[in-house]
Amino acid sequence: MVSKKKKKYSSGEGAQFMTRKAALKKLQLTLKDFRRICILKGIYPREPRNRKRAQKGAGGIKTLYHTKDIKFLLHEPIIWKLRELKVYQQRIRRARAMKKYGQMKKYFRDYPDMNIDHIVKERYPTFVDALRDLDDCLTLCFLFSTFPSLRRVPRDQSLLCRRLTVEFMHAVIAAKALRYVFVSVKGYYYQAEFEGQTITWIVPHHFAFQPQSKDDVDFKIMSTFVEFYITMLGFVNFKLYHSLNLVYPPKLTSGFSSKSDKDLIDERAYVSERIAAMNIPLVKLSGVGETEEVPEIDIFNTEDDPQKLEEAKLEAEKIKKLKTLFDGIKFYINREVPREPLVFLIRCFGGQVSWDRDHFVGATFDESDESIAYQIVDRPSMEKQYLSRYYVQPQWVFDSVNARTLLPINKYLMGAVLPPHLSPFVDKTKDQVYIPPEQRALNDPEFKPLDDDDDDGEIEEASDEDEADQSDKESEIDAEEALAKQYQEEVKQDSSSDEDEEDDTNSEKKKLAKEKKKAMAVTSGVPHKEHPYLKEIEDKQAFRLREKLVRKKHRNLYKSMKAGQEKRKKEIWLLRKKRRLHDEKVKEEKKTEKRKQKMQALEAACS
């Protein structure tokens, strides 16, 4: 029998990939519906190894999907729901064109809803899987919670985002799960920990919303992502509240329901109600006791590294102290301070907080309360002050949380120049990381950064040290030259000693005769002196030889690793250069200011 000839591109990458046009034809969907279902199901374009084979010999660059992913979508019941929605939209358009408004209202009333609960359960079979993928969900939901009603965003979506985000913040407060916080230009970075999973999200600063004139952002695609994330966050909130023995859904104010239209207009009233809701404890389930804390460290740890176990114990102790950082401490927030992040932080760690009840709702105690320990202000001075409390700036709260202890307040007093706000999100596994001087001072108590209040002579010495740092390469070259000279001198000394030995050959023969007699005696060894310059050269040569032994299939990977190391080294060098230039600029400004003060003092003395 003659075997049939195999058709080209029927196997391999030609059969594994499918273009978007072919996928639309197979699924019989529009591009709009195809994008929507791909976002909901988590299917994304793929990059093939050989694009020409994957595109069946066609040129150019096309969007490719795995064939198995498209076949997986064929069995999705939500496709029939999309087709049903398309039919209803055609009926509504026809009724509007024929001016049958009664029939159009009936179609709107019977418009089918799309339920995507089964997709969330399918993508996240366990609760830990959902927590692991919660970063983007929270960031986008917090962003949409700040939006008013937009043209391409459903009206109820932003309201639902507002309610779900406030519920999640309440769960973080009840569980005391917050670990780090950082304030940047983009917003407030928070990091919480639930069931061993770290969740990091961004809350944008609350500014007045400005609608965009150009369509630079596709809000329709973002709204589709939010549609999935809302359902996902609802599942997560339900599970968190029941694990914390809290009633779900919590009873919040009327500003978080879609029935009230007033709060859509009055944004200030909504923000005030949201902050007031965070200052109220949640209702716990009746008849259920307090949940026991799960031990942080597994005592049946199989690792034999005692250092890691000790580090884990220290980390557990720090977290235990962090949970009660503000326990029993009362804070009062002035009206010029952004209240929402501070209320969230203080409540997460057991503190009590209040504000001016005449301007905002939800205050629990007045400013005249003598038990207030800290008043948070953001102005240079105040007329009326109480002796029983400290007046600190808001950064003290953020830095104390990151340091996991109450920092000294002398650098954060009212009107003081604040120290730099350092980011706690540093990858400790990387070896090439730029560490600013302030962070080095915190890590190493022996490290002494340059003081800002030095005299002119000390400032000049500091500038000399900066110049020395600037010429690191030159100093290394000088050190190598010094080592080479030292090596040459030692070689000369050895050669001169050899000449002296040749002159004294007769005396050595007599000594050899005596040494033969003492051949069986034990003598002390002579230490071999290594030359650092030669050792460095030998190490470099050995390293080059090891590089040549890298296999051919791993050579490109090794080159990319070396390129990454060089790139990180360059970034660190640029950051150090920026810091050095900034410090030099600050010192020059201080010098000119001191000169002006001296000139003014001389003029005053002369006059």
> Which tens digit of pLDDT belongs to each residue from 141-155?
999 888 876 777 777
pLDDT of residue 506: 63
Q: What is the mean pLDDT of residues 415-439?
A: 81
What is the SS3 string spanning 265-284? HCHHHHHHHHHHHHCCCCCE
Is it the case that residue 485 has pLDDT exceeding 60? Answer: yes
Q: Could you tell me the two tokens for 380?
A: 């240079």
Cα angle for residues 175, 177, 180 (degrees, 5° grid): 155
Taking a C-beta distance cutoff of 8 angstroms, is the pair 396, 412 a contact?
yes
The percentage of residues in the chain with a pLDDT greater than 90, rounded to a whole number, is: 32
pLDDT of residue 497: 56
Q: Could you tell me the two tokens for 52?
A: 């020409």
Distances (CA, A) of 236 to 128, 130, 233, 252, 425: 10, 7, 5, 18, 25
Burial of 91 (0-12, 13-18, 19+ CB in 10 A): middle
> Chain-centre distance of CA 178, in angstroms?
14
Is it the case that residue 459 has pLDDT exceeding 50? Answer: no
Q: How confident is the model at residue 3 (pLDDT cuts 50, 70, 90)?
A: low
Taking a C-beta distance cutoff of 8 angstroms, is the pair 16, 53 a contact?
no
Q: How confident is the model at residue 456 (pLDDT cuts 50, 70, 90)?
A: very low
DSSP 209-244: ----SS--S-HHHHHHHHHHHHHHHHHHHHHHHHHT
DSSP annotation of 432: S
Tell me the pLDDT of the chain averaged across its residues: 81
pLDDT of residue 331: 93
**How do the domains of the chain map onto residue ranges?**
13-109, 117-207+218-278, 321-425, 433-476+537-607
Q: How confident is the model at residue 64 (pLDDT cuts 50, 70, 90)?
A: very high
pLDDT digits (tens, 9 = 90+) for 164-173: 999 999 999 9
Comparing C-alpha atoms, which of 503, 430, 462, 178 is closest to residue 319? 178
Is it the case that residue 479 has pLDDT exceeding 60? Answer: no
Q: What is the mean pLDDT of residues 459-469?
A: 44
**Residue for token pair 């061993």:** 196
Higher per-residue confidence, 422 vs 256? 422
Q: What is the mean pLDDT of residues 335-348?
A: 91
Determine the Cα–Cα distance for residues 162 and 233; give it in Å rounded to an integer. Answer: 12
CA dihedral sign, ordered 88, 90, 96, 98: negative
pLDDT digits (tens, 9 = 90+) for 105-114: 898 888 888 8
Determine the Cα–Cα distance for residues 43 and 393; give it in Å rounded to an integer. Answer: 47
Higher per-residue confidence, 323 vs 213? 323
pLDDT of residue 365: 87
Is it the case that residue 289 has pLDDT exceeding 80? Answer: no
Burial of 158 (0-12, 13-18, 19+ CB in 10 A): buried
Q: Could you tell me the two tokens for 400?
A: 């104390």
Q: What is the mean pLDDT of residues 193-200?
A: 92
Taking a C-beta distance cutoff of 8 angstroms, is the pair 157, 226 a contact?
yes
Comparing C-alpha atoms, which of 172, 202, 193, 203 is closest to residue 128? 193
pLDDT of residue 503: 57
Taking a C-beta distance cutoff of 8 angstroms, is the pair 303, 295 a contact?
no
Determine the Cα–Cα distance for residues 54 and 56; give it in Å rounded to an integer. Answer: 5
Q: Which residues pair with 19 in a beta bridge?
A: 64
Comparing C-alpha atoms, which of 203, 145, 144, 153 is closest to residue 178? 203
Taking a C-beta distance cutoff of 8 angstroms, is the pair 363, 357 a contact?
yes
DSSP annotation of 202: E
Q: Which residues pair with 246 in a beta bridge?
A: 284
Determine the Cα–Cα distance for residues 88 and 53; give it in Å rounded to an integer. Answer: 42
pLDDT of residue 300: 46
pLDDT of residue 505: 66
Helix spans in 100-257 (H):
101-109, 117-123, 127-132, 135-144, 155-175, 219-243
Q: What is the mean pLDDT of residues 49-71?
A: 90
Q: Could you tell me the two tokens for 156?
A: 């109820």
Determine the Cα–Cα distance for residues 428 and 550; give it in Å rounded to an integer. Answer: 28
Sequence letter at residue 39: I
pLDDT of residue 227: 92
Q: Examine residue 281 and say whether the peptide bond preceding it is cis (omega within 30 degrees of 0).
A: no
End-to-end C-alpha distance for the chain, whole angstroms: 120
Taking a C-beta distance cutoff of 8 angstroms, is the pair 405, 422 a contact?
no
pLDDT of residue 452: 46
Determine the Cα–Cα distance for residues 273 and 255; give it in Å rounded to an integer. Answer: 7
pLDDT of residue 455: 42
pLDDT of residue 422: 87
Q: How confident is the model at residue 290 (pLDDT cuts 50, 70, 90)?
A: very low
**Residue for token pair 């080059």:** 544
pLDDT digits (tens, 9 = 90+) for 114-165: 888 999 999 999 999 999 999 999 999 999 888 876 777 777 888 889 889 9
Is it the case that residue 477 has pLDDT exceeding 80? Answer: no
pLDDT of residue 137: 94
pLDDT of residue 19: 92
Helix spans in 381-450 (H):
395-403, 437-443
Q: Which residues pair with 391 in a beta bridge?
A: 375
pLDDT of residue 1: 54
Is it the case that residue 296 has pLDDT exceeding 50? Answer: no
The percentage of residues in the chain with a pLDDT greater than 70, rounded to a whole number, is: 80
Q: Which fold has domain 321-425?
A: Rossmann fold (3.40.50)
Q: Could you tell me the two tokens for 483?
A: 């080592």
- Of the listed ranges 159-168, 213-222, 243-252, the least confidently predicted one is 213-222
pLDDT of residue 362: 81
